[in-house]
């Protein structure tokens, strides 16, 4: 029996990629944002969809717009 496909996330989480590109550790992000470790742990997942206040805090700590970290997925094209 085949497992159903995992649904697409509500938003695309680019935070791990942005941190890696900048050479910023999760520990440094925790220090800058003062967010609790369990919350930061949830932000590592593919389908992380933080509340606006958390997204603003993380984006401000990194000096980037929220859209650089979380965006809506592009709609999939359907073939005719």
CATH of the domain at 33: 1.10.260
What is this structure's pTM?
A: 0.79
What is the per-residue pLDDT for 80? 63
Q: Is 9's pLDDT higher than 80?
A: no
Residue 34 domain-assigned (yes or no): yes
- The mean pLDDT value for 7-25 works out to 89
Dump the DSSP string for 10-72. SSEE-HHHHHHHHT--HHHHHHHH---HHHHHHTTSTT----HHHHHHHHHHHTS-GGGTEEP
How would residue 13 be classed by pLDDT, with cut points 50, 70 and 90?
A: very high
pLDDT of residue 79: 67
Which residues constitute the domain of residue 24? 12-64
The total number of structural domains that make up the chain: 1
Determine, yes or no, domain membership for 57. Answer: yes
Report the Cα–Cα distance between both ends of the chain, in Å, rounded. Answer: 29
In 3D space, the residue among 22, 78, 77, 69 whose CA is nearest the CA of residue 44 turns out to be 69
Domain assignment present for 73: no
Residue 23 lies in a domain: yes
């Amino acid at each position: 029996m085949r497992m159903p496909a995992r649904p697409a996330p509500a938003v695309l989480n680019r935070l791990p990629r942005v941190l890696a590109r900048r050479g910023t550790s999760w520990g440094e992000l925790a220090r800058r944002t003062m967010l609790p470790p369990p919350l930061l742990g949830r932000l590592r997942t593919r389908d992380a969809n933080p509340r606006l206040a958390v997204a603003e805090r993380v984006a401000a700590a990194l000096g980037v717009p929220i859209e650089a970290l979380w965006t809506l997925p592009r709609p999939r094209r359907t073939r005719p």
